[in-house]
Structure 1
């Protein structure tokens, strides 16, 4: 079951220039890092990185996702929710979505990724361009119950290739921050 129950109000996704007050420098660095999060987590975990799929399937996209993808509200898309793990610990909850209309016939088989990283695929295909990163305190109701916590930082960005757009949201869990403090040399 996807973790997309709607909160009373959707989060306000902000650019770096709109953030006030700013989070600490380490958090900012992770939130606005333009490189591959998969590669960074692999480095932090000293190659102990893995992906655990939680949900994959077609569903109605949330209103904020439709707006970010320039879709009509209520559009259907492919939803993929996973944990990005270091040494078996869930460090990041990620939710990626793409419109059904754009995926059909595009050749990106999000439904066949399994435990492979979508981020690695997006960063290895030079045809994808990444739009600006936006951040928010991710709604607690949108997280899996075992990771549910208030005020967790999340970020999202849109990757475009022709008519295909994939919106990737990554929510940083407290276990990630503990790992960065324990191994600052790998950050």
Structure 2
């Protein structure tokens, strides 16, 4: 997989470096497969699908993907479970154009890891990661921690756009406190 530059000015409120991320830093800056790292650090690994629906992407997400804001996309939300505990909340925006051709199977992943598909294809390129510290005021924070019994004061997230041929998908990963115990 190669890294490509894409729209750094459009990443409003997202940082180019995870400044002040402390113990989360090594997880945030990981450029290899997050799925593989989680699998190597846990006894059991699973993907639990929380939602799969057609919806309008947020304006910022549409800009990053280079699609019209009013065009429905497939939205997929999952928890990556390590040893039975949610370690990462992942949210993907898959424009309809990305569900054809080389990526046509992405809409039918079920409880399989999106990352394993992305990192197994050498033709996939990835835009640089961007980072954000999320607190309870942010909608993404609320989505990510909704299933947790004890809500942390904050969590860290990262996002990136993956490209294959003429299509792109946006993947956002929110690191939950249990990832720090791995």
Give me the TM-score of the superposition, normalised by structure 2.
Answer: 0.82
Out of 166, 169, 173, which is 2:169 matched to?
166
Aligned match of 2:69: 73
Out of 144, 155, 160, which is 1:157 matched to?
160
Aligned match of 1:40: 37
Deviation at 1:81, TM superposition (A): 0.5
Deviation at 1:54, TM superposition (A): 0.7
Q: Contact between 1:133 and 1:157, CA under 8 Å: does it hold in 2? A: yes
Deviation at 1:14, TM superposition (A): 1.3
Aligned match of 1:176: 179
2:66 match: secondary structure:
coil
Deviation at 1:102, TM superposition (A): 3.4
Q: Contact between 1:130 and 1:158, CA under 8 Å: does it hold in 2? A: yes
Q: Contact between 1:11 and 1:137, CA under 8 Å: does it hold in 2? A: no
Q: Any idea what the Cα deviations from partners look like across 1:96-138, whole Å, max 9, x if unmatched?
A: 1111133234443222111110000000011110110011123
1:30 match: secondary structure:
helix
Which portions of structure 1, spanning 4 or more consecutive aligned residues, are displaced by more than 3 angstroms? 104-107, 147-150
Q: Unaligned stretches of 5+ in structure 1?
A: 1-9, 181-187
Matches within 5 A, 1:15-30: 15-16=16-17, 19-20=18-19, 22-24=20-22, 26-30=23-27
Out of 104, 109, 115, which is 1:108 matched to?
104
1:143 match: secondary structure:
helix
Change in Cα spacing, 1:111 to 1:55, as seen in structure 2 (3 Å) is same
Q: Contact between 1:11 and 1:136, CA under 8 Å: does it hold in 2? A: no
The two structures, once aligned, show a CA RMSD in angstroms of: 2.0
Aligned match of 1:184: none
Aligned residues: 165
CA distance in 2, matches of 1:65, 1:150: 25
